[in-house]
Amino acid sequence: YGIEHEPTVQESGASGCHITLFSGDKLIGGPQSGIIVGEKELINKTIKHPLARSFRLDKFNLAGLHRTLEHYIRGEVDKKIPVWQMIKMSKKVIMTKAEKLQKELKFKSTIEKSVSQIGGGSLPGQELETYVVGIDEKHMPLGQEEFRKILRESTPSIIGRSENSKLLFDLRTIHSNQIKTLANIINNINA
């Protein structure tokens, strides 16, 4: 995928770790959860701890985790888990989406090379080349802060990345079927 190697859960176990803790959302692309694997007697000690009840997964997250793990078992990770779809997305696909968004926007915008930052805890500092659509503050009907506030409070909520005087939208993280909605929300600001 063009990212540096990060030890897998299996590698942690094989290296002699008695217990391994990892994030369900960051490491496998599932629901937000903490997962503990390893020696049964050590895991049982964590279950008996008084705080364990407050850290249990609810039925919805458990169902989501189950579904995510099924995709791994079936070898469907690249097709079914959004974070892996985004990581493996080609620059050509990203550019096509950027051009589509730019065409839909009423605001003057630019397409620029940039980088996507993959994640914090599990892949810190990992970056992938991407394309972004940028709207310069001077082309916004309101100041950038007000523009961003309106986008955050819209439905769906939209978060852009601020760099210098521009608000950037990374097309790696926007599905093709979301481009028109994104453009409509942006175009309707102070329309």
Contact 68, 47 (CB under 8 A): no
Same domain, 180 and 115: yes
Contacts of 118 (CB under 8 A, 6+ apart): 3, 87, 126, 127, 128
Q: 107: how many CB neighbours lie within 10 A of its CB?
A: 17
User: Do 77 and 115 share a structural domain?
Assistant: no
What tens digit of pLDDT does each residue of 152-165 get? 999 999 999 999 99
Q: 18-52, pLDDT tens digit by residue?
A: 999 988 988 899 999 999 999 999 999 988 888 88
Same-domain pairing of 41 and 113? no
Count other C-beta atoms under 10 Å from residue 151's C-beta: 19
For residue 122, what pLDDT is reported?
A: 60
pTM of the full structure: 0.84
Q: Identify whether the C-beta of residue 174 lies closer than 8 Å to the C-beta of residue 99.
A: no
HSE value, Cβ hemisphere, 13 Å, CA-based, for 127: 8
Domain that holds residue 174: 89-187
H-helix or E-strand spanning residue 105: none
Query: Which of 24, 57, 82 marks a domain boundary?
Result: 82
How many structural domains comprise the chain?
Answer: 2
Q: Are residues 183 and 98 located together in one domain of the fold?
A: yes
Q: Are residues 103 and 157 in the same domain?
A: yes
Q: What is the pLDDT of residues 118-133, one digit of tens each?
A: 866 666 678 899 999 9
